[in-house]
Amino acid sequence: MSGSLCRLIEQYSNLILAMEDDCNFDPKWLCFYRIQMTVWIMSRAGFCDNTAMAHETYEKIRTAWIDLSRYLESGKFTISNLGQLCATVDLGFADCNDSK
């Protein structure tokens, strides 16, 4: 990905956090959120102007994070690379490209 595309994705992700009034600055949550939001944005082929859908996506990511964080807090497994783990979570965004 080009640097400018990465910046645009980051800015859009930040906009959604602001719209949701999300003040959770936990680095683990933000890592998960940014990875999942990037997957969603890329699945939309550049069409991210639907704020209702962005809200639904945020809620889906937040719900998945709550489940994942409970799993992580259980201490059953040692996670050495959170970013890699977050990237393996499939919320089905790539399968539902409805932008066309």
Contact 87, 94 (CB under 8 A): no
Closest CA to 57 of 15, 4, 26: 15
* Alpha-carbon distances, residue 25 vs 21, 29, 63, 92 (angstroms): 12, 7, 16, 25
Rg (CA), the chain: 14
Indicate the pLDDT class of residue 1, thresholds 50, 70 and 90: low
- Model-level pTM? 0.84
- Name the amino acid, one letter, at 3: G
Band of residue 95 on the pLDDT scale cut at 50, 70, 90: low
Q: Looking at per-residue confidence, does 69 or 2 come out higher?
A: 69
**Per-residue pLDDT tens digits for 25-71:** 899 999 999 999 999 988 887 677 788 899 999 999 999 999 999 98
